[in-house]
Amino acid sequence: MSDILINKVAESGIISLNLEDFYPKGEIKTFDLKDFLYMGLILKEKDYRAALLTTEWEAYRDKYVAITCSADAVIPMWANMLAASYLQPVAKDVAFGDEKKLIETILLKNIANLNLDEYIDKRIVVKGCGDVSIPETAYVEITNRLRPVVKSIMYGEPCSTVPIFKKK
């Protein structure tokens, strides 16, 4: 008599959700306002506007761009907005902050765009370990998005999970 192997995980109907799938795909660049500071300290509006007009914006085409200032200077908010207004038409996406903050922002945007219809009354495992470091905020956000519609949320791997939520 032959033993038939049954994959109970495959038959369980559990959907594995990997947050790496929401990670930004593409090159990340930084737009650093320190390059536009007068004497490394002050942002002069007239000079800044003139410099932005001569900036090679094509270098940011289809890239994720983080707007930041690595110098210890007080930057007026409008300066970030002005940079974003030039970057938005060419970049894939633009966010304020360093590269880490940009990645977090894109992850959260991608999670917010998740079509929840395919997860209604399903059992979900949010994958825990992977090749890419996922910020904790993404795990909290995916839980917030899924909880109202799913049957259950677990964390880990389908063969070994930690229960997070179960609909009563």
Measured distance CA(130)–CA(21) in Å, rounded: 11
Quote the pLDDT of residue 4: 65
The tens digit of pLDDT for each residue in 59-81 reads: 999 999 999 999 999 899 999 99
Domain ranges of the chain: 8-24+114-166, 28-91
Quote the pLDDT of residue 141: 97
| pTM for this predicted structure | 0.84
The tens digit of pLDDT for each residue in 101-120 reads: 999 999 999 999 999 999 99
Six token digits for residue 130: 């992977």
Quote the pLDDT of residue 112: 97
Mark the ranges of the chain whose per-residue pLDDT is less than 70: 1-12
